[in-house]
Each structure stands twice: as structure tokens, then as C-alpha cells.
Amino acid sequence: MPWFSWLLLPFTLIYESVTRFRNHLYNEGLLKSTQFETNVIAVGNLSVGGTGKTPMIEYLIRLTSDETNFVTTLSRGYGRKSFGFIMAGEEDDAGTIGDEPYMYHKKFGNAIGVAVCKNRDLAIPEILVHRPETTVILLDDAYQHRIVKPSLSILLTNFSKPFYNDFVLPVGRLREIRAGAKRADIIVVTKCPKLSESEQVRIKYAISEYAPCPVFFSEIGYDHPKPIFNEQPPLKNRVVGISGIANPLPFNQYLKKNYSVKFTHNYRDHHRYTELDVQHMINELDDQTSLICTEKDAVKLEKFEKLSSHSVYYLPITTQFLREEALFQAMIKNSIKSFDFL
């Protein structure tokens, strides 16, 4: 911990006291958590951003969507320009429902439902009215949203900064104390390098001091770059990398490993691109240079038609388990119950 972090310690103590007290009220039943008559799987983290929630939600969509289950995702819709509850439709975009929800909506279409609302406890009944066929609701970034009691809670923690080595804000990046991990039913250590079995055992032991639950390990996987626009120039080996995500390091590392990188530009998470931003990008492109961005950024850049005549691609991201994927899948599927309302 840097020496100057001690200057922030009083603020950390205040923040920690507030979150401790809030959790105590929920733990003692003085604040009520609502449990709904449907399957609610919450995905979240103890830290602020960058743990891979979006690819995990996509993984769970593919895993739980089948002939017997209809999935609806529920997100806050961070950064959107709208308010209240919205069930995504044809007229929506990243501005009305947020980056990640629009990504889910665009990728999966009517095969799933996509809803956004700040208040999840109010949104779930709305979902069941608008999409009564919903059998599984995936709560995106809802670990601290304790007003809803999920049927299954999945906690993600980044390998490079695991929660058990981190501190509460603002000294560290934790939203609450490490002991909050005990509410998790499953913990996934994300963005791992190749780990030996002994290293995995060591990490599991460190986590077990805070949470006695199954622990899994995953890494980031990248599919082949895909064009943002139709009929655009082919992908070049020389690239400009653009990202507006919480942790751009893996994205940048992948580009440097696989391409000749002219430069990378990292905007803040959920950045709203402007005409000036796009013009700066175009100024760096030529017949020998392509632009590659994250999939999250692609859904915001697609509205800039001036990019369509250039070689502009996005890099799809996936969650891949190092081992015991079948066990993880079985735990998820076994948690899904049938509700008979007759």
C-alpha cells in the first residue's frame, strides 16, 4: 500500500463504518431483502469494476437459455440518458439502456429479455409482467444490492487484485469489507494466467478465510475480430487500439501480442464517444492501419457513419474456465428451480 494511502485512511474508516452498519441491518433483518418466486442469479464483485462481469453474464445467458428456460438480464444501465424501468426494444441503443445491456440486446435479440432499472426490487415484478415467460433473471453488478435476495450469488474477483489482498475505498478498491464475500454461493477468480494446481490451492485457501464456498478459475478468451460495419476494408496487421473499459490491460496486452500496435488509447469506463473523438481516431488510420476496439465500445461507435469507410473492428471477449467447468455448469443448472403458479 503506497505511503500516501494513510492520508485516505480516515475516509476509508468512515466508508467502512457505513457499509458495515448497512450490512448489519440486513443481516439482522432490520432491513428487508425480498426473495421472488423466480430464479434470480446475481453476478457482482466486492471491488470497483474490472472483474469481467459482462463476459460472465454472457456465459450464463448461453448456459441457462434452453427450451425450458427464458432468460432476462437486469442491469442498472449505467451511463444511460433515460430513467426508470425499460425493457429493451428495437428503438433502444446504448444511450437509452447503457453499454452492456445494449450489447446483450444486440447480440441475442429476442432470444432473451434485457431490462434496465436502478431499483432491482421494483424491476423484477415489471419483468414478470412484460416477459411472463421469464424463468431466470440475471442480475448484473448486484452483489451490494441487498434489497433483492438472489437464489444464487456469484462473486467475481480479479486474479491480479483479489479481494483478500485489497482494502476498502478510497485506500483500496473494495466497496465493502472482505467478509462480505461470505454471502457468495460461488466465487470465480477471473482474468487468470495459466495456474498450477498448487497455486490454485493457495488461492482457494486464502479465499476460504472469508467465504466457505466453491471457488473456480477463469481466463479471458478472445474470438477473431469482427467488423463493426458491413462491407468495410479488411483487417490490417498494424492497428490502433481503442478501449473505454474499467481494466484495459488484458485488451492492450492481447493487441501487442498479436498485432503491430501503432498506439492504444484508453478512455474512461462507459465513455460516450464524440465526433471529435472519432475524428482523432480517423486521423490515425490509413490504408495500412486498422482500428480495433472492445465489443463494449463497438456498440457506441457504430453510430458514427464516417468510420464505415475505414477498417474498423471489435474484439469479442469470452469467459473460459481453467478447470472444473462441468462442475460450475452443474451448480448453475441445479440451482434453477421450477415454479408452479397454478
Residue 163: pLDDT over 50: yes
pLDDT tens digits, residue range 21-49? 999 999 999 999 999 999 999 999 999 97
- E-assigned strand segments in 159-299: 186-190, 215-222, 226-227, 238-243, 260-266, 289-294
Domains along the sequence of the chain with CATH = 10-69+135-220+321-335 (3.40.50), 224-315 (3.40.50)
pLDDT tens digits, residue range 187-227? 999 999 999 999 999 999 999 999 999 999 999 999 999 99
Q: What is the pLDDT, as a whole number, of residue 338?
A: 84
Beta bridge partners, 188, equal 156, 216
Q: What is the pLDDT, as a whole number, of residue 28?
A: 93
Percent of the chain residues topping a pLDDT of 90? 90
Q: What is the pLDDT, as a whole number, of residue 78?
A: 87
Q: What is the pLDDT, as a whole number, of residue 339?
A: 75
1-9's contacts with Cβ under 8 Å and 24+ in sequence apart are: 1/167, 1/171, 1/172, 5/167, 5/171, 8/170, 8/171, 9/171
Residue 340: pLDDT over 80: no
Q: How confident is the model at residue 342 (pLDDT cuts 50, 70, 90)?
A: very low
Please, what is the average pLDDT of the chain? 93
Residue 280: pLDDT over 70: yes
pTM (whole model) above 0.75: yes
Output the nine-digit C-alpha cell for 40: 434470480
